[in-house]
Structure 1
């Protein structure tokens, strides 16, 4: 049995009175004894259905206690999990089913996903709604086996966002996943006394590893929300006595701009920010407003979610922190190592980092055991890492190179800007021109007010950016293409319905 499976079993199959999980949607609290009973029920069910180590499971349950039990039982059994959006469109689900042979597919009763195979009903807890369980006919295990997962068994199988074309398949082993969990626990000093508020989507690697698994292995308590709610966030943090939360910069910005008018009494040790760069001005204002440390971090699916994080006792705003439990270096175009404070591409290797993609796409990103991430940045003399966007996102305006992230951070400092995406718009003379897509906090459509906002943006950028970095084209839009954590999908801008309100430039 793998160390991950053994660790989960030891932690979960212990009958005590301690609360382990609170499901806010179900309005139910589950103690360790109930978790142990339901987990064993699910393990037995998987075994009776002939599911075994190495089988692939597509899991499309919403954030819930059901997801928690099913996910952990699958890991202990040795199933390879592909977690997907519970509301995934039929065509996308069937595309995934065509790429990989899945032994089972689990979705909630109210899902719109359909499959021709017969289904069995899986009841995890009689007080909760049941879910459907489909066993695909292409897999036919006649009898349960005694096969158990090893360190090299695949635990998670996910696809990257595919920013450069066809998504790459990432397979994380039990050993890689456990290494990441241990790095997170050590870096954030997690203990059994901690309570985390899980409000990011569980089909994303961040919520699965950072919140669910790190909390479970460290013995802490989980408070699971069906999704993020700005109106409910602080009330839940207070009443549930939450000690830490993993969020995304988009959510942090929303919380800041919708701060409650009452005093907040919380027990937060820190809020963790990941998935996209966090503007320094936002971080400073957030810490001042809510009196809670913001721990900016950096990760990717290929590293089981975590690469760097700021130490709790010594944070540097603007930095994603120091490497935790892995090796990191900055490399030039020829992959030679660059000295401190010199900009280049970030390369990583470690026990939690994959060494190849499962579908062979992107395997040129590996060099002698190092994964060349595609992220641009530098490392200062103290080892802190600063990120300046992605190599493929760099805008080339007449030979002048600039990072869209830098421009976005400047624009987010404006109080009327809720969300922004900066990209290079093709230009026959300059090659590219800087173009900004902006969602306003008040979603105004008034022409006079939009003109005032436009002028304020121009003046703000003139005071804070070099001439070649200043946006020449400004779009006020109602929506931007974004992923599960709110990170804008820059490459989908041209195909997305932006619902443009006004256009300048």
Structure 2
């Protein structure tokens, strides 16, 4: 793979290869605090923190963790929504020389217990309202300490007084955590700990910064081992790709959760590296997001298709000024062409699709934001220093342009492996290539097209059907807000195509109308035979539709009737 056709498409501002500073991820916070000490780093519900404040607070957390006995390489879990504490804790763990274990705040007790045991985390930093769940499982895990914070700790007056009452009303929980035994108060750490530098030995290629757990759609979640080199490489690539963005000047909307690798890299680490102001939202809510865009004027808005779809379908969309948005990189799921076009029309900015995996820190490909022709349906071209190819699903050989096979990648952002799973790590690599499990092809110009997950491909009557192709057609129907297609067992065809549909508010459509619409654009064997209308679809925290959950649901139905 010495030929890289995609390089011919690169704008002259993007180099084919980058130089990476051999330093830990947290050193970017140290440098940015030195260069921009008084610049706003975080805006959170009216409260603002400078880079100097974030830096000093992170050092305090790092020093406290060392005091608790955390050593280099130990794992520390962070179970927080987006907010100042999530950023401070992340860099605090790294300053302590430990490895961050990102934990979804929506996890059940069973899921928390599994992840703490699998990662071997000895400390967890979490919210007061999540504390009861952690407390229930601590005796079954290696956890020795719980550091507890509250949303109100970083709210301005009078929100800090009012919020606890709102929180109690919303959750039904009134939690007060006393600081004793294994419990520690985040607020007191910030108020009393020294902000002194911690000097530790460091190995750029080997030291882990993060254990990022995969979604577990194919079994138990696995801890992806990402090194400081992986994260610095991918964030540097991101900065190079967004070459028109000015250091110290951009404002980025942080609605993607930081416990997801995409939000962590493309919002949090990028902002610290480039001295951008982060406007943080603890969860995605359409009205809150629209108000934040109008008031805080973000220029960058990384997101997922479901986020853009929800905003576009808000009945009051036209009342808000979204013109500050210049650039959006969409990830986590396929971006329907119609959504891209509508969002660009509403904002006047650019929205392009990228591609990646937890195993690649996460981005490997993206479309160009500026100065390039659109290639419809493509996830773009490989980023600097990133190799990509298509391997035959039958022989494993590299395929020529236009032929469909498995997408494989190489690059400095590719993981070290899976935590404590050497056999699965070995199965995920072939001759140095990371096997993505995605099916796609490359055109003659080096643009890649992902047609589906290898495991999601539908085999009906001997035909290969890729759900994404069918979904793209359904998204073009004016009444459809969301659509997902799966293969369900069929006695005659082996599998048949089923579509789950969420309609736009105030719209209606019949199965017969959708059938006629699909038949006009798809070969007969690809047209859905079954339609199911729903008010919502199962999704991950970042908004990715859980196709696997629907497939499992169908299997359970079949088992009950058989």
TM-score relative to the length of structure 1: 0.89
* 2:390 counterpart residue number: 330
- Judged with a 3 Å threshold, the aligned counterparts in structure 2 of structure 1 residues 135 and 415 are, in CA distance, closer, same or farther, namely farther
Q: Give SS of 1:246's match.
A: coil
Cα pair 2:499 2:532 within 8 Å, conserved: yes
Q: Shift of residue 207 of structure 1?
A: 0.7
CA RMSD of aligned residues (A): 2.7
Q: Shift of residue 443 of structure 1?
A: 8.1
Cα distance between partner residues in 2 of 1:19 and 1:284: 33
* 1:286 counterpart residue number: 343
- Judged with a 3 Å threshold, the aligned counterparts in structure 2 of structure 1 residues 168 and 100 are, in CA distance, closer, same or farther, namely closer
* 2:67 counterpart residue number: 48
Q: Shift of residue 5 of structure 1?
A: 3.3
Cα pair 2:290 2:320 within 8 Å, conserved: no
* 1:141 counterpart residue number: none
Cα pair 1:58 1:102 within 8 Å, conserved: yes
1:396-439: CA deviation from partner (whole Å, max 9, x where unpaired): 11001110011111111223222222111111221101111112
Q: Give SS of 1:464's match.
A: coil
Cα distance between partner residues in 2 of 1:459 and 1:103: 58
* 1:139 counterpart residue number: none
Residue 365 of structure 1, aligned match among 420, 425, 428: 428
Cα pair 1:248 1:486 within 8 Å, conserved: yes
Cα distance between partner residues in 1 of 2:291 and 2:537: 28
The yes-or-no answer on 1:492 pairing with 2:549 is yes
For residues 158-173 of structure 1, the aligned pairs below 5 Å read: 158-173=212-227
Q: Give SS of 1:170's match.
A: strand
Q: Shift of residue 497 of structure 1?
A: 10
Residue 421 of structure 1, aligned match among 480, 484, 492: 484
Q: Shift of residue 365 of structure 1?
A: 2.2
Q: Give SS of 2:409's match.
A: strand
Cα distance between partner residues in 1 of 2:23 and 2:177: 28
Cα pair 2:323 2:348 within 8 Å, conserved: no
* 2:277 counterpart residue number: 221
* Structure 1: segments with no counterpart, 5+ residues: 137-143, 501-505
Cα distance between partner residues in 2 of 1:63 and 1:109: 15
Cα distance between partner residues in 1 of 2:105 and 2:222: 21
Cα distance between partner residues in 2 of 1:3 and 1:203: 19
Cα pair 1:14 1:33 within 8 Å, conserved: no
* 2:259 counterpart residue number: 203
Residue 354 of structure 1, aligned match among 415, 433, 436: 415
Cα pair 1:348 1:370 within 8 Å, conserved: yes
RCO (CA 8 Å, sep 6+): is it higher in 1 or 2?
2
Residue 441 of structure 1, aligned match among 497, 504, 507: 504
Deviates more, 1:483-492 or 1:215-224: 483-492
Cα distance between partner residues in 1 of 2:178 and 2:413: 33
1:3-23: CA deviation from partner (whole Å, max 9, x where unpaired): 423333222356722111111
- Judged with a 3 Å threshold, the aligned counterparts in structure 2 of structure 1 residues 463 and 306 are, in CA distance, closer, same or farther, namely same
- Judged with a 3 Å threshold, the aligned counterparts in structure 2 of structure 1 residues 425 and 351 are, in CA distance, closer, same or farther, namely same
The yes-or-no answer on 1:258 pairing with 2:321 is no
Residue 306 of structure 1, aligned match among 349, 355, 363: 363
Residue 61 of structure 1, aligned match among 80, 84, 93: 80
Cα pair 1:357 1:363 within 8 Å, conserved: no
Residue 454 of structure 2, aligned match among 371, 391, 396: 391
Cα pair 2:365 2:380 within 8 Å, conserved: yes
For residues 17-416 of structure 1, the aligned pairs below 5 Å read: 17-24=38-45, 27-111=46-130, 112-113=132-133, 114=135, 115-116=138-139, 119=145, 127=154, 147-151=200-204, 152-189=206-243, 190=245, 191-258=247-314, 260-262=317-319, 264=321, 266-313=323-370, 314=372, 315-325=374-384, 326-333=386-393, 334-358=395-419, 359-360=421-422, 361=424, 363-416=426-479
1:19-51: CA deviation from partner (whole Å, max 9, x where unpaired): 111112xx2011223223322322221222221
* Structure 2: segments with no counterpart, 5+ residues: 1-21, 161-175, 184-196, 558-562
* 2:14 counterpart residue number: none
Q: Shift of residue 494 of structure 1?
A: 4.6
Q: Which has the higher helix share?
A: 2
Q: Give SS of 2:417's match.
A: coil
Cα pair 2:102 2:260 within 8 Å, conserved: yes
- Judged with a 3 Å threshold, the aligned counterparts in structure 2 of structure 1 residues 476 and 223 are, in CA distance, closer, same or farther, namely same
Cα pair 1:196 1:245 within 8 Å, conserved: yes
Cα distance between partner residues in 2 of 1:159 and 1:121: 21
- Judged with a 3 Å threshold, the aligned counterparts in structure 2 of structure 1 residues 148 and 50 are, in CA distance, closer, same or farther, namely farther
* 1:9 counterpart residue number: 30
1:297-356: CA deviation from partner (whole Å, max 9, x where unpaired): 111100001111111221433211111121111111222111122222111011110253
- Judged with a 3 Å threshold, the aligned counterparts in structure 2 of structure 1 residues 9 and 145 are, in CA distance, closer, same or farther, namely closer
Q: Shift of residue 195 of structure 1?
A: 0.8
Cα distance between partner residues in 2 of 1:180 and 1:231: 32
* 2:560 counterpart residue number: none
Count, aligned residues? 484
- Judged with a 3 Å threshold, the aligned counterparts in structure 2 of structure 1 residues 204 and 126 are, in CA distance, closer, same or farther, namely closer
